[in-house]
Amino acid sequence: MLHAESYISGAELAADCQVSRTAVWKVMEQLRAEGCQIESVPHKGYRLVSQPDLFCESYLKRAVKECRTNWQFRHFKELDSTNNFAKELAAHDAPSGTVVIADQQTAGKGRIGKSFYSPKGNLYFSVIEKLALPIAHMMSVTACTAAAVFLALKQFGVMTQIKWVNDLFLNQKKICGILSEGSFNAELLSMDYLVIGIGINLRHDPGCPEELRSIITDLETETGTCINKYDLLIEILKQLEILLDEIPAHSYLDIYTKNSYTLGHTVRMDNGTEGTAIGFTEDAGLIIRLSDGTEQILRTGSATVID
Ligand code: BTN
């Protein structure tokens, strides 16, 4: 009823909906409060300039109905962390394929105990997977997810680079972070469940803390446009189910390697040692050549690209 291209008068809307003009005005105020940008011009009427990404379960269900996974969506306006909530659900028998989404996070988590800044406007979600995966494959899960997000963004014309092990970069700045967690079954020596958390910065955030401005970016700032976050979510889930299935065959590695932000660069490990990133092992460990010619494989911690 409201369009971006044309105006519709309050009187027309009131007649269409069989309500008073005061009721129309009240609805406009409510939509504005929910994030819609609505222009109102005297003698012309209302025009919808932009609308926020609204969660619509039936739209998502329809979009993923061809998937092998029975994706189930749980949406929240705010959570401390979608990973925390998903872990609780998984421990209480939530099925594989449950996706927990939050519009914002008050205590978003990153790798190695870091926090993940999570204001409104971006995409934050965690996927529960019950794959009975050997623990040795855990790092592959994160790398494989990075490859899935890379492919999904590529579908929308956005070419990112993957920084070992869990970040996506756009124009030299971080645009996405991935955190995989899980519960280890010591008897079976495999994972009972996995929670894969993904955060992608989509919207320009004027409130971004000063200390993060040189490190992180968002799609809107870099490209001048924005993807609907639920369309992006759908594409990521489609790519993820294919690549996760193929983890034993390591098929994500080709995408991961060809689009690496890390390979060929000098990196500094957490212990201060520097070397050149020269490749990945099959399970996504980072192979680093040190100045004495020896090689080291990094499977934990971080590798900061310095050159
Ligand atoms: C990192 O930067 O080291 C990883 C960041 C992972 C962030 C995502 S946002 C959704 C999910 N919930 C969290 O608390 N963290 C992940």
For each of the chain's 307 residues, which pLDDT tens digit applies?
Answer: 677 678 999 999 999 999 999 999 999 998 888 778 889 999 999 998 877 788 989 989 999 999 999 999 999 999 999 999 999 999 999 999 999 999 999 999 999 999 999 999 999 999 999 987 888 888 899 999 999 999 999 999 999 999 999 999 999 999 999 999 999 888 888 889 999 999 999 999 999 999 999 999 999 999 998 899 999 999 999 999 999 999 989 999 999 999 999 999 999 999 999 999 999 999 999 999 999 999 999 999 999 999 9
Q: Which residues, 6+ apart, have CB-to-CB distance to 299 below 8 Å?
A: 139, 283, 285, 286
Residues with beta carbon inside 6 Å of ligand 1?
A: 81-83, 105, 108-111, 114, 116, 124, 126, 166, 177-179, 197-199
| CATH match for 10-50 among 1.10.10.10, 3.40.50.800, 3.40.50.300, 3.40.50.720 | 1.10.10.10
Whole-number pLDDT of residue 1: 66
Ligand 1 center to residue 188 CA distance, Å? Answer: 28
Q: Roughly what angle, to the nearest 10 degrees, separates helices 229-245 and 138-155?
A: 140
- Give how far Cα 119 sits from Cα of 86, 87, 278, Å: 19, 22, 36
For the structural domain made of 266-305, what CATH number should be given?
Answer: 2.30.30.100
Do 10-50 and 57-258 agree at the fold level?
Answer: no
- Minimum-distance ligand 1 atom for the alpha carbon of 105: 14
Domain ranges of the chain: 10-50, 57-258, 266-305
Ligand 1 center to residue 268 CA distance, Å? Answer: 23
For the structural domain made of 57-258, what CATH number should be given?
Answer: 3.30.930.10
- Give how far Cα 44 sits from Cα of 3, 10, 25, 29, 241, Å: 13, 9, 14, 18, 49
pTM: 0.88
